[in-house]
């Protein structure tokens, strides 16, 4: 902690303004406003086990970008991550590290050498080590990175935690199985390389966060969408136990049935079958692991936005992922740590990124589809019904289920529903879109990526409230305190959630209870999880 040095700096906007440029103009001229302003600010250093890193100080926050937590994965494609090689010179940590290669992100530096993380910490001195919050970004396991400006950790750092964001391998580079790889790595973990990266980042935090003033024994993992799925998978993984002490899952697809390595739950292709089919499609036949590694990265990842076969997911490999999250929570196999989860009021907005036909979403319920459609009579067409149904079935109902199962296991469990809509979007959307809470709670909506955004005091108040709840939870495992509306722990009997809305924060009992109960009973996923574990219990009995 004593190594931190420097003083209050200037904002990125101030630096650009003094240069006579706005962020948009800088981009037009081919400049990099983030990196350029960062190098112009006072510096600060910290010493990790691999070597010293030099960050910068801005608006009361120490920022370190692009710290390597794993070795270059390029030569080790489809292999577990390794710790980074030590460096002798001071590492320049002013710029973000490369993101994992992905379709549609050509404007950002991308490389298979992508195992980097970023750290934010307040300049304020602390007599005790600070709680640590580690953020795993979303993006359907195929896009985004910890360098997204939405995830700038300065506001969280000023609230009293160490904030860490992480890059991990995406698409088929991060989640891929093939018999050749399984045979080659006999006995070792395979397939879930992106999840292995997440675990490696937490190992790095455990070993190094004290150098930044953090407490390695008080780590909260949190994330949104597929990042929240990673959180739940880490909760369910025996291999991840002890790497964190609390968990927050925001809009997690809680009941996805991941493919298994060599067989599937419904008789479809296994992960290895899918891997073989892909290999043949790009000219790799037989068990040629070297040929798979020699493929160009862009050919490996394909275009998952238009090709369903290229949408990589976690895989039940029997070692790191031994069962799906719903099954783990149903059986009480999850980590027994304080758990906070929830979803947004317009989660179905995520469908705009894909071209899944509304009929397919409804037909997935099979013989129960008519019962399910009746739950959404207030929607006036099939697309609107499918959108609302998708949001509830994939995000809202599973969050409630997992919160209930965590509470049943005796864990402190908290459930929320985010329905706050920014003024510019009111009347234009059904509610709070998938991911809408992120820039509110990180206080980053005013970044250059949203040139039309007008900051509102209501946005700031909502963001402050959410961030304070989250930081309190990270500190003690209980979100309450600081003159906030009291948030009761979740119990199935009272079914109380925290409601974040344009009216403020309030406790809502029995939120959509009848609809969510009916949806849970009709879902093609939850009955499978419950029935499977009941069968196991009966056999043991």
Q: Within 10 Å of residue 11's Cβ, how many Cβ atoms?
A: 13
Q: Which of 275, 425, 431, 283 is nearest to 344 (CA)?
A: 431
Q: Quick one: tokens of 416?
A: 């929320």
402 exposed, middle or buried (CB, 10 Å; 0-12, 13-18, 19+)? buried
DSSP 196-217: HHHHHHHHHHHHHGGGGTEEEE
Token output for 386: 């499918």
Token pair, residue 351, equals 């469908």
The CA distance from 151 to 128, in Å, is: 25
Q: HSE on the CB side for 215, CA within 13 Å?
A: 17
Asked whether 351 and 357 are in contact (CB, 8 A), the reply is: no
Residue with tokens 């739940």: 232
How many Å apart are CA 437 and CA 500, to the nearest integer? 10
186 in active site: no
Residue in 43, 100, 225, 345 annotated catalytic: 225
The two tokens of residue 364 are: 């997935």
Say if CB 315 and CB 177 are below 8 A apart: yes
Q: Is the dihedral of CA 74, 79, 80, 86 positive or negative?
A: negative
Backbone phi and psi for residue 9, each to the nearest 5 degrees, phi listed first: -105, -150
Q: Let me know: does 301 contact 102? Beta carbons within 8 Å.
A: yes
Query: Measured between alpha carbons, how far is 420 from 458 in angstroms, rounded to an integer?
Result: 10
Token pair of 365 as six digits: 């319920």
d(CA 496, CA 512): 11
Question: Which two three-digit tokens encode residue 77?
Answer: 């494609």
How is 297-336 classified by DSSP, letter by letter? HHHHH--TTT-GGG-----B-SSS--S-HHHHHHHT-S--
CB 121 within 8 A of CB 150: no
Q: Whats the size of the chain, residue-wise?
A: 541
Q: Scan for tokens 């999250």, then name that residue.
A: 325
- Between CA 467 and CA 476 the distance in angstroms is 14
10 Å CB burial of residue 27 (0-12, 13-18, 19+) is middle
Active-site annotation, residues: 225
């Amino acid at each position: 902690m004593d190594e931190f040095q420097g003083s209050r700096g200037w904002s990125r906007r101030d630096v650009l303004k003094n240069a006579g440029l706005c962020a948009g103009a800088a981009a037009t001229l081919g400049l990099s406003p983030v990196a350029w302003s960062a190098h112009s600010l006072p510096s600060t250093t910290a010493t990790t086990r691999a070597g010293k890193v030099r960050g910068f100080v801005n608006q009361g926050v120490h920022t370190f970008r692009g710290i390597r937590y794993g070795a270059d994965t390029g030569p080790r494609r489809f292999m577990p991550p390794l710790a980074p090689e030590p460096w002798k010179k001071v590492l320049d940590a002013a710029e973000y590290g490369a993101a994992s290669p992905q379709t549609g992100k050509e404007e950002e530096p991308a490389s298979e050498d992508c195992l980097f993380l970023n750290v934010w910490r307040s300049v304020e001195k602390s007599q005790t080590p600070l709680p640590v919050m580690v953020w795993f970004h979303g993006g359907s396991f195929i896009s985004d990175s910890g360098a997204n400006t939405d995830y700038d950790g300065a506001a969280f750092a000023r609230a009293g935690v160490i904030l860490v964001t992480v890059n991990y391998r995406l698409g088929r580079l991060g989640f891929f199985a093939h018999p050749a790889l399984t045979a080659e790595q006999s006995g070792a973990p395979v397939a879930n390389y992106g999840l292995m990266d997440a675990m490696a980042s937490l190992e790095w935090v455990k070993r190094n966060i004290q150098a930044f003033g953090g407490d390695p024994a008080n780590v909260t993992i949190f994330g949104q969408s597929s990042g929240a799925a990673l959180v739940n998978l880490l909760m369910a993984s025996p291999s991840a136990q002890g790497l964190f002490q609390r968990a927050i899952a925001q809009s997690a697809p809680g009941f996805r049935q991941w493919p298994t390595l060599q067989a599937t739950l419904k008789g479809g292709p296994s992960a290895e079958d899918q891997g073989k089919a892909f290999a043949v499609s790009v000219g790799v036949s037989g068990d040629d692991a070297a040929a798979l590694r020699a493929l160009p990265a862009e050919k490996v990842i394909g275009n998952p936005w238009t090709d369903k076969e290229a949408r990589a997911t976690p895989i039940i490999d029997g070692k790191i992922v031994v069962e799906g999250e719903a099954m783990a929570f149903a059986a009480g196999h999850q980590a027994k740590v304080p758990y906070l989860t929830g979803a947004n009021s317009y989660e179905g907005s995520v469908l705009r990124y894909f071209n899944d036909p509304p009929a397919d979403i409804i037909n997935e319920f099979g013989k129960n589809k008519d019962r399910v459609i009746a739950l959404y009579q207030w929607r006036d067409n099939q697309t609107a019904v499918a959108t609302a149904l998708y949001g509830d079935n994939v995000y809202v109902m599973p969050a409630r289920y997992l919160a209930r199962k965590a509470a049943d296991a005796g864990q402190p469990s908290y459930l929320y529903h985010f329905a706050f809509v920014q003024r510019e979007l009111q009347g234009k959307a059904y509610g709070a879109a998938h991911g809408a809470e992120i820039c509110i709670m990180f206080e980053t909506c005013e970044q250059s990526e949203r040139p039309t955004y007008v900051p509102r005091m209501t946005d700031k108040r909502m963001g402050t409230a959410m961030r304070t709840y989250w930081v309190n939870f990270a500190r003690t495992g209980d979100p309450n305190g600081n003159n906030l509306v009291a948030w009761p722990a979740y119990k199935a009997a009272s079914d109380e959630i925290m409601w974040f809305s344009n009216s403020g924060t309030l406790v809502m009992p029995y939120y959509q209870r009848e609809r969510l109960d009916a949806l849970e009973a009709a879902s093609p996923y939850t009955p499978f999880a419950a029935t499977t574990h009941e069968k196991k219990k009966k056999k043991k009995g």
